[in-house]
Amino acid sequence: MNPEIIQLEEKKLIGKSRTMSLAGDTTKELWQSFMPNWKSIPHRVDEKLYNMKIFEPGFDVKRLTPSTPFQKWAAVEVEAFGEDVKGMEAHEIMGGLYAMFLHHGPASHFHETLQYIYDVWMPSSNYQLDDREHFERFDQHYHPRDPNAIEEVWIPIKRGTDLTF
């Protein structure tokens, strides 16, 4: 599973967010509150949905525990901020270098993809995790239990320092 390395431009998102942890995961409730109104968000760029996570600065994936807090978003990309959409918030993804992987299969196997990214790919790559937004992107037909589901997994990276001489 080799990623595509992409220099991402800034993106404007409109959606809903909650602070949670893996132990107190309220992702299902977040998406249930977002989905009934997402098509009414003006100036959408496309029909893609964003499942974004924002960790505290200095986040180290090796220290991730079930109680590690993060902000989770259910959102769509928009061309511009402007009209307030009731119950929705705005967030701008900083942009920067990302490794984009494809996860194939149900969400219940997503941890296997993340384990590969952080335990296999990243240590053997010339990249390190960067302090920016992590997100998955998928279309409106995505279903988390579908064995044929495909979602993009975007991991913020920066070039690592090579200490070999």
18 and 26 Cβ atoms separated by less than 8 Å: yes
**Taking the complete model, does pTM exceed 0.85, yes or no?**
yes
pLDDT computed for residue 95 by the predictor: 92
Query: Over 90: is that where the pLDDT of 78 sits?
Result: yes
What is the C-alpha separation between 61 and 121, in angstroms, rounded?
A: 14
pLDDT computed for residue 130 by the predictor: 95
Handedness of CA 2, 22, 50, 80 (dihedral sign): negative
Question: Coil, helix or strand for 113?
Answer: helix
- Give the tens place of pLDDT for each residue, 103-122: 999 999 999 999 999 999 99
What is the C-alpha separation between 165 and 150, in angstroms, rounded?
A: 41
- Give the tens place of pLDDT for each residue, 53-76: 999 988 888 888 899 999 999 999
Q: Average per-residue pLDDT in the chain?
A: 92
Query: Over 90: is that where the pLDDT of 33 sits?
Result: yes
Domains, the chain, ordered by start:
4-159 (3.20.80.10)
CA 135 from centroid of its chain's CA atoms: 1
